[in-house]
Chain A
Amino acid sequence: MKGANSPGHRVIIDWLAQTGRLPFDFQAQTWQHIINNKNGLVNAPTGCGKTYSVFLGSIIQFINQHPQQYLTKKNNGLQLLWITPLRALAKDIARAMTEVIESLGMAWKVGIRNGDTELKERAQQKKQMPEVLIITPESLHLLLAQKNYPDIFKSLRIIAVDEWHELMGSKRGVQTELAIARVVNAQFQLTGKWSLVWGISATIGNLEEAKEVLLHPLKRLYTLRNNTDAGNDHSVIVKANLHKQTQIESIFPDEIEKYPWAGHLGIKLVEKVLPIIYNSRTTLVFINTRGMTELWYQSILAAAPDLAGAVALHHGSIEQELRLWVEENLHTGRLKCVVCTASLDLGVDFRPVETVIQVGSPKGVARFLQRAGRSGHSPDAVSKIYFLPTHSLELVEAAALKQAVEENFIESKPPMILCFDVLIQYLCTIAISDGFYADSTFEEVCSTFCFAAMQREEFEGILSHITAGGKALHQYDEYKKVEIMDGDLFKINSRRIAMQHRMHIGTIVSDAMLKVKFMSGGYIGVIEEWFISRLEPGDSFTIAGRNLELVMIKDMTVLVKKSTAKKSIIPSWQGGRMSLSSNMGKKLRAALSLSHKKNNIPELNILKPLFKLQNLLSHVPKEDELLIEHIETKDGFHLFVYPFEGRLVHEAMAAILAWRISQITPITFSFAMNDYGFELLSDQPIPLDDSNVYELFSEEHLFEDIQRSVNSTEMAKRKFRDIAVIGGLIFQGYPGEYKKARHLQSSASLLFKVFEEYEPNNILLKQAYREVFDQQMEETRLRDMLQRIQRSKVVITVPQQLTPFCFPLKVDSMRENVSSEKLEDRVKRMQQQLKD
């Protein structure tokens, strides 16, 4: 290998040798490709030196360029831009990189740029950029909103995108695509050259596509330079091929008969968790929602008071200082246990972590493996993960997960397409800094994967939206955002609007958040506005492990005092609601099928009493069967259908089925869904039986039925929440001008309503419907499911009472407005009714 003898290479090999280390193959390969000016994707799990692959490649590149002065050369300008999805990761990565640089004796600096970066440091960076800048996609967009931003990137050699698998399927991934396109094109315009682009990704089902999406903007530049489409020759995938062993163990309740069927948080099993915590150096307890973490944290402390001070809480709504403290103490091993959400899914290793406990369904194979990987760090160590079910049926998921992990049956992450809300935000961003021209920006935006299929008319529609604000009807309209200047430069001139927009960039995924503070002044964290707006002064709620009493909401801050109330409401953050992946669904159906035969799967065997009851009352579906239950209660007539395809698909299917049945006879439904199935509920008998069931699940006219049923549901309305925020319709307010800010506030649901009525062709409203079509009502997945049903035997039963299968559905559907304590009481009562 030519590069193996390069000066940089030798420096790094020697440096590693000093501590008795050798590079892994995938690291050396990445270095080589970087030396050869290739772009690519490194596929490596967390905890085996993936950071070193691209980062040391960048160092080697620099040494090769300055073999004599690499130690002393200072202030070289930005060399490596490191994009990371979570700001919590930035500090650890910076620390790891700084250690290497200091140990090598180089003069490079590492900087961090995200929402937590202080003003002073930002100003310093403006004067002199560090060689390495670690940044979130949002903060990168904020950089693009600065005047003369292209100068920052003149010296840049490598753009690295960490955890690309995590970003790709989301709108932040689209933000990343747009930013990369802008940076490399700005470089090309200034210098005729551009950076290499490298992604780092855990294993997903569509790695090749992940690479294509990330590197898509480069194709156009290679073509411009060489007059050929040579993009693919410039890119590679480097695989780590380290097979990490994962050991999965379920935590079983002592008496499965008494374990709840639904509506619980698994806290009954807290006693079983304690020995695991005691016996391992540090344990991470992963919980799906922030609200549940609060409850778990308190339950562990209540069960084991001696752990006080050694147990901590970590989630996205906790104040930064506390979060950093937790991370710090995870590194040093001073914490025995941390209860966390996805906030600790990613990132560098906490070496003391020996054990991971997953509470409730992880919803997907990839996520489960990622979490398991947080334990047992040396590449040959075994990752140990416990699965704790929150209700009985979840144990079937554990059995399914084991099978999926054994087969390495990992999900794909479909990239997002044509997210016009993100594009609107981005165009406003570059209109703030230097402004943009329509033609060149159109070409550049189309060079990204997300917007490759965008038509010029669509782009013109977006330009008209940001300049004229949709249809302006009368001469009294004063809409003002982006203005068209001389020479057709699109520019935002108003400082107020620019400031307002900058504040929006950071809020791409969150709901309107309010700060929570003590009356006496201490800052506690943030909370979603819709939750707090349901409380009255005097009500108690829990955040960051503390019981607080709401005093008042003032100037967009929630003022609280300590609460002495025994019961308090736990906020249910909406972000935590994920849907089961189709991979998991498939394995789940297989696992259920196995329950009919003799097997040695512990999870299925312990569930025998439950299966027996289900079989007695109704039926346990085999792999080639679809179960449908007709049940009548005092609420009305229920139809339960169990395709095991995940909540999102079920919602779509429920809407279509409801639409189709309503064509038979005039009827109204409400419906509910979970990951196992869905429920249609009506005040009159539901006309579905052996004679028409295959017809109702037919794939004929599917497309037309999707279109008709989507309008009648809440799906688009829900999508519109995010879109309204990203597209700049929801105003978050700016500091110091509370009164004016209040007059600019409106809810996403009100906006949805008025757009439906007054401007049905609005670009953002149409985006909401398109997202429902593309993501949720995805025709191919629905068609696959319907074809599967057509091949299956449909089993229709008429149980005289609620069954174990329908139970979680029934409970979930009433979850909306009921607090956790009351819910438990209700569930108890319902279960009692069932046994009587």
Chain B
Amino acid sequence: MASFIQHTILQNDFILHHNRTVFWEQEKLLILSDLHLGKTGHFRKSGIAVPAAIMKEDMQRFIAAIQFFKPQEVVIVGDLFHSVENKEHELFLKWRNDLKYVPMRLVKGNHDIVPDKWYKKAGIIIEEKQWTHHQFHFVHQPEHIPENIDDADAYYFSGHLHPAISIKGLGKQSLRFPCFYFTGQYCVLPAFGKFTGTYRVEPLKNEQAFAIVENSVIPCS
């Protein structure tokens, strides 16, 4: 079992990594989605005692991914933060300052509600709805991808769904894992943050899913 899988779209090569990120080799772009940073802080501030360690570990995985791929740019396809500002955002800023040489771009998701000036302070370029690089487009919600696009010269990356796939075996065994989900027109990334639920997708015949099973990526379908 591989800790990553190479996947080719429109003659470009993408690495699907078990750390829930995609790396675009030709452009050295690290793509990820739905980090929901600050979610634990938001809960804890309201007296709901979820483990504070989640945020810290999410950040550590984020840093590790950047150190591993050494990308020229990081693209987040939405939901970098979970809600309104809290102190965990400060923790992010502190860390961002240490890694300020990495350009970072955010295509805003429905959870990204902190004011624009905050992103400026954090050195994050924001895109309201969509960002396009060569023939690849980046949006948050797959619903916002136009229908009837020509597969040959456009492909979309998105998030929002937190896709998971359930793998069934004989004897009614069934297991569920977060996954990368590819259709002919677009890809849905798994949620990067660990304090997130999942939504079960059922790939059609011509679609593909790659399950993240602990430290490996396994093609399904």
Contact = CB atoms under 8 A, between A and B. Distances in A.
A635 B197 CA distance: 30
A759 interface: yes
Contact of A743 (B47, B83, B88, B171): B83
Contacts of B170: 635-636, 683
Nearest to A492: B47
A683 B45 contact: no
Contact of B48 (A472, A670, A729): A729
A479 B196 contact: no
Contact of A479 (B44, B53, B172, B173): B44
B50 A731 contact: no
A750 B172 CA distance: 23
Which has the most chain B C-beta neighbours within 10 Å: A669, A740, A744?
A: A744
Given A470-B51, A478-B41, A479-B52, A750 B197 contact: yes
A481 interface: yes
Contact of A683 (B39, B56, B169): B169
B87 A754 contact: no
A465 B57 CA distance: 21
A681 B56 contact: no
A566 to B, nearest CB: 27
A747 B84 CA distance: 21
Contact of B42 (A668, A743, A755): A743
A474 B171 contact: no
A557 to B, nearest CB: 20
Given A683-B171, A750-B197, A758 B44 contact: no
Contact of B46 (A476, A497, A759): A497
Nearest to A472: B52
B48 A478 contact: no
Which has the most chain A C-beta neighbours within 10 Å: B91, B170, B196?
A: B170
Interface string B176-216: 00000000000000000011110000000000000000000
Nearest to A765: B51
B49 interface: yes
Given A746-B195, A758-B57, A813 B49 contact: no
Contacts of B57: 758
Contact of B87 (A473, A478, A481, A813): A478
Interface in B113-141: none
A731 B41 contact: no
A130 interface: no
B86 A635 contact: no
Given A743-B83, A758-B57, A759-B53, A469 B171 contact: no
B177 to A, nearest CB: 12
Contacts of A481: 47, 49
Given A473-B53, A478-B87, A743-B83, A731 B48 contact: yes
Contact of A754 (B42, B44, B90, B195): B195
A682 B169 CA distance: 10
B195 A750 contact: yes
Interface string A643-684: 000000000000000000000000011100000000001110
A245 B172 CA distance: 48
A714 to B, nearest CB: 12
Contact of B47 (A500, A636, A670): A500
Nearest to A763: B49
Contacts, number: 117
Nearest to B36: A743
A412 to B, nearest CB: 36
A474 B47 contact: no
B45 A480 contact: yes
Contacts of A807: none
A757 to B, nearest CB: 7
B69 interface: no
A729 B41 contact: no
Interface in A162-202: none
B82 to A, nearest CB: 6
Interface residues of A, number: 45
Contacts of A740: 83-84
A500 B46 contact: yes
A478 B169 CA distance: 45
A636 B172 contact: yes
Nearest to A757: B194
A476 B41 contact: yes
Interface string A591-628: 00000000000000000000000000000000000000
A637 interface: yes
A477 interface: yes
B197 A469 contact: no
B154 interface: no
Nearest to A637: B171
A635 B172 contact: yes
B32 to A, nearest CB: 19
Interface in B134-173: 169-173
Given A497-B46, A497-B47, A683-B169, A750 B196 contact: yes
A555 to B, nearest CB: 16
A790 B111 CA distance: 59
B195 to A, nearest CB: 6
Contact of B172 (A465, A469, A477, A813): A813
B54 interface: yes
A728 interface: yes
A754 to B, nearest CB: 6
A663 to B, nearest CB: 19
Interface in A206-257: none
A471 B47 contact: no
Contacts of B91: 474, 476
A804 B172 CA distance: 21
Contact of A759 (B51, B86, B174): B51
Contacts of A480: 44-47
B172 A681 contact: yes
Nearest to B174: A670
B49 A465 contact: yes
B87 to A, nearest CB: 4
Contacts of A476: 41, 87-88, 90-91
Given A474-B91, A668-B173, A744-B43, A751 B86 contact: no
Contacts of A37: none
B48 A744 contact: yes
A477 B41 contact: yes
Contacts of A469: 44, 47, 49, 52
25 contacts: A471-B51, A471-B52, A476-B91, A477-B87, A478-B86, A479-B44, A480-B46, A481-B47, A500-B46, A500-B47, A635-B170, A636-B171, A636-B172, A668-B171, A670-B172, A682-B171, A683-B171, A728-B48, A743-B39, A743-B83, A744-B42, A754-B50, A754-B195, A758-B57, A813-B172
Given A471-B53, A683-B171, A683-B173, 18 more contacts: A470-B52, A473-B52, A473-B53, A476-B41, A476-B88, A476-B90, A479-B45, A481-B47, A636-B170, A668-B169, A668-B173, A669-B171, A670-B173, A682-B171, A683-B170, A731-B48, A754-B54, A759-B51
Give the 6 A-B CB pairs with smallest separation, nearest first: A636-B171, A469-B49, A683-B170, A481-B47, A758-B51, A759-B51
Interface of B: 39, 41-54, 56-57, 82-84, 86-88, 90-91, 111, 169-174, 194-197
